[in-house]
Structure 1
Amino acid sequence: MISTRWLEKRKTYWARLELLVDRSNKGGISALDHRELQELGLLYRQTASDLATVREDVTSNQLSFYLNQLLGRAHNLIYMGHKQKISGIVRFYTQTFPQVFRETFRQSLLAFLIFAVTGIATWAVTIHDPTFAHRLLGPQMMETIEKKEMWTQSIVTIKPLAASSIMTNNLSVSFATFAMGITAGIGTIWMMIINGMLIGVIGAATWQAGMALQLWSFVAPHGVLELPAIFIAGGAGLEIARGMLFPGLLPRRESLALAGGRAARLVLGIVPMLIIAGIIEGFVSPSGIATPLKFLLAAVLFAALTTYLARPGTPQPEAN
């Protein structure tokens, strides 16, 4: 037999659960803050336990029915909350990220141009002054190139570890490039220059050693995802700088907040690109797969990426 004291004590919790459920039904799950969402889960579990107790009392059928209905409503709400989170992630990558990329395309293009101009200039300097490559790459790597050996062969023996290390490194570089936008873009520009110089000097050194095909057949499969991701990260950093330096009619703080929101979405958007690129760089790029197949894979991936980023999406509201 359920005691009146127990019943009065538990009614407070049931009423609170019902209030949270009613609020969510009216305003959606977003009507609850983080603390209330945690409370909802706790009250749901407590009420489920209470229902088990009530069912043992054959005289409490009406109360059992009420609690069962309340738990059913709460269960649907919690389930839909998880479903909405998943659909939100899908919506972000299918609509929001491509849309924000197109809105900030000029910044990503500028990052690419800084990279490309630096790379071409470094290539030209290296071709005319071979000692430049020695100074920039160091004697150990130059010795490997002069022996016509690819330094990437070590990846083959430790593929899983290499893929993990590559992904971590690429993510770190991309996040650093993005974060340096707060230096009015100077740090971001410097990161693009460094990357351009590295590609330029390695490209020239391997070309002089007759290893250009080996290099680009290694770079192409993962590079068609990795390099655009780095350009987008650079664009994110430059977007922060734009919001800081050129607020227009907005207060500088508000302009920076809006630009920072767009930049953050850009960086979140490139995470899958870098993960896929890391896996390819660890397993496919250094493998013995025929060179034409590697370039074919690169072409397919680049076409897919271009189609994905150019795909029209539903315009997204600005971040608060």
Structure 2
Amino acid sequence: MPAGSDPLTPDPLVSALLRSDRFRVEREADWRRLDAIVTAMEKGRLRRVPDADLIALPQLYRTVASSLSIARAISLDAATLGYLEALVQRAWFVVYGPRSSLGDWLRGFLGGGWSRSVRGLGLDLAIAFAVMCAGVLVGWLLVAHDPDWYQALVPGQFADTRVPGASREALRATLFGNSQQDGMGAFAAYLFSNNAGVSILAFALGFAFGVPTLLLLVQNTAILGAMLWLYHGAGLTLDFAAWISVHGTTELFAILLSGGAGLHIGRAMAFPGERSVLAAASEAGRRAAQVMAGVVIMLVVAAILEGFARQLVDNTPGRLAIGGFMLALWCAYFFAFAPGRSPGHAGSRR
């Protein structure tokens, strides 16, 4: 005992240790029980956890979280604090964290979540579709009025034989019998990369009340309108439409969804109703983000079609069959396939 100390006055260090031991003894049983439940669930042994423990799990989590709060308030020893902090963090993910695996999420997403989100953009998709059709018409009318507009709309690196005044034979040669040629393959690759970029921008620019999204849709589809005018003049409208439909029906559908998603956010911000602008944008953003996750899948499918199907099928009926089938498939999935809420979509199991 230090010299001069009062033997009747408790040593502060001894008091702190006694307080720590008493605190642990009174609550340690709950800590260990929660630790055992969390460990079993983390190791995927949920079936081995008794029903009584599962029922008690939320209450145990709150009890241990309360213990942590008290431990911090009374400056408990560092080892106990560290143990409680780690246990509370682990238990939080078990109680409140997501329950579904990646496979479960994919099943919920492809099994109805994606299509529901797309149908939730009904008005926005209608507006985007009308704007895209207007863009094609604008491109056609501009070059029909003044062919010089063709050079302004169509990228210069592809203005080889595909220019106003080209013969029917020259234009037809760009559509058939060129699966091993770089020219048309490069043009198709450009269309894919361009459409992928447009899809991302159409969504990202939606926050500006959707105006940049509309302009981008018009600009992109005006290129298609100019090309259609060129091949129509040579009597190759159906052949060109068949060539581009192989992957174009999927790519253009992806652009339509991206444009609709961007407009959905912009429209929610412009007309939030009784909600705040932030709340409206947040709600619209969650739905639009799920649509965009599916757009990525569509662009991958389009890349496969462009890289293989377009090269292997060298006739108009075959190309129309592929393009028409893909269009019917997407339409059926988005607008005819309407299952109930799946577990993956509804959220985690409590």
- TM-score, shorter chain, exceeding 0.5: yes
Secondary structure, counterpart of 1:144 in structure 2? coil
Q: CA deviation at 1:196?
A: 1.7
Distance in 2 separating the partners of 1:154 and 1:133: 24
Distance in 2 separating the partners of 1:152 and 1:259: 44
Aligned partner letter, 1:134:
Q
- Does residue 313 in structure 1 map to residue 339 in structure 2? yes
Q: CA deviation at 1:154?
A: 7.5
Aligned partner letter, 1:255:
A
- Does residue 258 in structure 1 map to residue 283 in structure 2? yes
Give the alignment of 1:163-242 within 5 angstroms: 169-242=194-267
What residue is the counterpart of 1:115 in the other structure? 132
Secondary structure, counterpart of 2:161 in structure 1? helix
Do the aligned partners of 1:218 and 1:286 also contact (CA within 8 Å) in 2?
no
What residue is the counterpart of 1:129 in the other structure? 146
Q: CA deviation at 1:249?
A: 0.8
Q: Name which of 7, 29, 36 aligns with 1:18.
A: 36
Change beyond 3 A, Cα 1:139–1:119: same
Which structure has the bigger radius of gyration? 2
- Residue deviations 1:30-85, cap 9 Å, x none? xx9xxxxxxxxxxxxxxxxxxxxxxxxxxxxxxxxxxxxxxxxxxxx9xxx89732
Structure 1 residues not aligned, in runs of 5+: 1-12, 33-76
Do the aligned partners of 1:99 and 1:314 also contact (CA within 8 Å) in 2?
no
Q: CA deviation at 1:233?
A: 0.3
Change beyond 3 A, Cα 1:109–1:97: same
Distance in 1 separating the partners of 2:103 and 2:186: 30
Size of the aligned set, in residue pairs, is 260
What residue is the counterpart of 1:150 in the other structure? 174
Q: CA deviation at 1:138?
A: 5.9
Distance in 1 separating the partners of 2:193 and 2:158: 23
Do the aligned partners of 1:156 and 1:282 also contact (CA within 8 Å) in 2?
no
Change beyond 3 A, Cα 1:82–1:160: farther
- Residue deviations 1:190-223, cap 9 Å, x none? 2101112111111111222333233212111111
Distance in 1 separating the partners of 2:142 and 2:194: 28
Secondary structure, counterpart of 2:274 in structure 1? coil
Change beyond 3 A, Cα 1:168–1:122: closer
Do the aligned partners of 1:123 and 1:200 also contact (CA within 8 Å) in 2?
yes
Q: CA deviation at 1:278?
A: 1.1
Distance in 1 separating the partners of 2:148 and 2:193: 32
Distance in 2 separating the partners of 1:121 and 1:99: 32
Do the aligned partners of 1:188 and 1:237 also contact (CA within 8 Å) in 2?
yes
- Residue deviations 1:90-144, cap 9 Å, x none? 1112211101111112111211111101211221232232222133336663441
Do the aligned partners of 2:175 and 2:243 also contact (CA within 8 Å) in 1?
no
Change beyond 3 A, Cα 1:157–1:82: farther
Give the alignment of 1:96-111 within 5 angstroms: 96-111=113-128
Aligned partner letter, 2:338:
P
Distance in 2 separating the partners of 1:287 and 1:273: 20
What residue is the counterpart of 1:38 in the other structure? none
- Does residue 245 in structure 1 map to residue 270 in structure 2? yes
In angstroms, what is the RMSD of aligned CA positions? 3.9
Distance in 2 separating the partners of 1:102 and 1:85: 24
Distance in 2 separating the partners of 1:292 and 1:221: 11
Moved more, 182-191 or 202-211: 202-211
How many percent identity over aligned positions? 24
Aligned partner letter, 1:272:
I
Change beyond 3 A, Cα 1:290–1:87: same
Change beyond 3 A, Cα 1:184–1:153: farther
What residue is the counterpart of 1:95 in the other structure? 112
- Does residue 289 in structure 1 map to residue 309 in structure 2? no
Query: TM-score w.r.t. structure 1 length?
Result: 0.69
Do the aligned partners of 1:221 and 1:297 also contact (CA within 8 Å) in 2?
yes
Q: CA deviation at 1:152?
A: 9.6
Structure 2 residues not aligned, in runs of 5+: 1-30, 47-53, 62-93
Distance in 1 separating the partners of 2:214 and 2:231: 26
